[in-house]
Amino acid sequence: MATLDTDALGAWVREYARAVTEHRDELTELDSAIGDADHGTNMHRGMTAAVAALDATPPADGAALLKTVAMTMISKVGGTSGPLYGTLFLRMSGALDDGSPAAFAAAFRAGVEGVVARGKAELQDKTMVDALLPAADALTEAVGAGQELDVALRAAADAAARGRDSVTPLVARKGRASYLGERSADHVDPGAESAVLLVEAAAATLGRS
């Protein structure tokens, strides 16, 4: 059975840093339409610092790795995505257990619930939660049904993308975008987009563990 150890989780984090850097301008552009135009820059700064922190002090285990990522995001991102993604990784770190697929699915859910609690966002508020909650549901369901991890993570990534797309027509009810009211409709939410990248990065790396 796949075990999500330090190497596997490190590959996930590094792939997410690479994806965030590749999509930096796109994320910032999405955020300039309905926010404060810093999401790509902030996520790039945070994830680059997270990878540097892992390089500087190799973590002892998977939980320590996720905690390093959490503390770096909390400290370095600057915007709201810092506390939000930081809380996601921090709660995951506390719930990782033995790193089995079932434990990973439970840890991811704990992380997503941490984001919900921190941001106080609900489904259809047009935030990262609209990508993360469906992904957590799909992952839990697929792993619970005995699917291989790569299949389960693919389902989670697809659910995240569908969740992101489902709220694109809506008016934002949280964050800076909510200041814009009706003008936020028909724009892709930048937080939902970066959340899709996170789950895609998991499917691209952890599914192969």
Residue 191 C-beta: closest distance to another protein, Å: 12
# binding residues, another protein (CB under 8 A): 22
Is the separation of the CB atoms in 157 and 138 below 8 Å? no
Binding to another protein by residue 76, rule CB under 8 A? yes
199 three-state secondary structure: helix
Kindly write out the interface string for residues 13-52 of this chain, putting x where it contacts another protein by CB under 8 A and - elsewhere.
-------------------------x---x--x-------
Give 145's DSSP letter. T
- CB within 8 Å of 143: residues ≥ 6 apart: 101, 102, 104, 105, 149, 152
Specify the residue, 16 or 85, whose C-beta has the smaller distance to another protein: 85
Is the separation of the CB atoms in 203 and 154 below 8 Å? yes
Q: Binding to another protein (CB under 8 A): which residues in 165-184? A: 175-176
33 three-state secondary structure: helix
Which of residues 10, 59, 79, 190 is near another protein by CB under 8 A? Answer: 79
Specify the residue, 82 or 207, whose C-beta has the smaller distance to another protein: 82
d(CA 58, CA 50): 11
Which of residues 118, 148, 158, 162 is near another protein by CB under 8 A? Answer: 118
The dihedral through the CA atoms of 89, 93, 95, 100 has a sign that is positive
**Tokens 């552009």 map to which residue?**
29
**Tokens 């994806």 map to which residue?**
19
Kindly write out the interface string for residues 123-162 of this chain, putting x where it contacts another protein by CB under 8 A and - elsewhere.
----------------------------------------
Burial of 21 from C-beta contacts in 10 A (0-12 / 13-18 / 19+): middle
Considering only 60-68, 73-81, 125-133, 190-198, which stretch makes contact with another protein by CB under 8 A? Answer: 73-81
Which of residues 63, 69, 84, 192 is near another protein by CB under 8 A? Answer: 84
Amino acid letter, 118: R
Which of residues 28, 80, 93, 205 is near another protein by CB under 8 A? Answer: 80
Q: Which residues bind another protein (CB under 8 A)?
A: 38, 42, 45, 71, 74-84, 86-87, 90, 118-119, 175-176
